[in-house]
Chain A
Amino acid sequence: DVKVTQSSRYLVKRTGEKVFLECVQDMDHENMFWYRQDPGLGLRLIYFSYDVKMKEKGDIPEGYSVSREKKERFSLILESASTNQTSMYLCASSLSGGARAQYFGPGTRLLVL
Chain B
Amino acid sequence: EDKVVQSPLSLVVHEGDTVTLNCSYEVTNFRSLLWYKQEKKAPTFLFMLTSSGIEKKSGRLSSILDKKELSSILNITATQTGDSAIYLCAVAHSGTYKYIFGTGTRLKVLA
Interface residues of A (CB under 8 A from B): 4, 31, 33, 35, 40-45, 48, 50, 56, 58, 90, 96, 99-107
Contact = CB atoms under 8 A, between A and B. Distances in A.
B27 to A, nearest CB: 13
The 3 closest A-B pairs by CB, nearest first: A99-B32, A42-B103, A104-B42
Interface class of chain B by DSSP: strand
Nearest to B31: A99
Contacts of A56: 97
Contact of A45 (B88, B99, B102, B103): B99
Contacts of B98: 45, 48, 58
Given A99-B32, A101-B34, A90 B42 contact: yes
B48 A99 contact: yes
Interface residues of B, number: 21
Interface string B10-52: 0000000000000000000001101010000111110010100
Q: Which of B31, B34, B36, B41 has the most CB of A within 10 A?
A: B41
A103 B102 CA distance: 17
Contacts, number: 50
B76 to A, nearest CB: 19
Contacts of A106: 41-42
A100 B92 contact: yes
Given A40-B103, A41-B103, A102 B45 contact: yes
B87 interface: no
Q: Which of B42, B44, B50 has the most CB of A within 10 A?
A: B42
Given A42-B102, A42-B104, A103 B97 contact: no
Nearest to B92: A99
Given A42-B88, A43-B101, A99 B44 contact: no
B39 to A, nearest CB: 11
A107 B88 CA distance: 16
A104 B34 CA distance: 13
Nearest to A32: B97
Contacts of A102: 34, 45, 90, 99
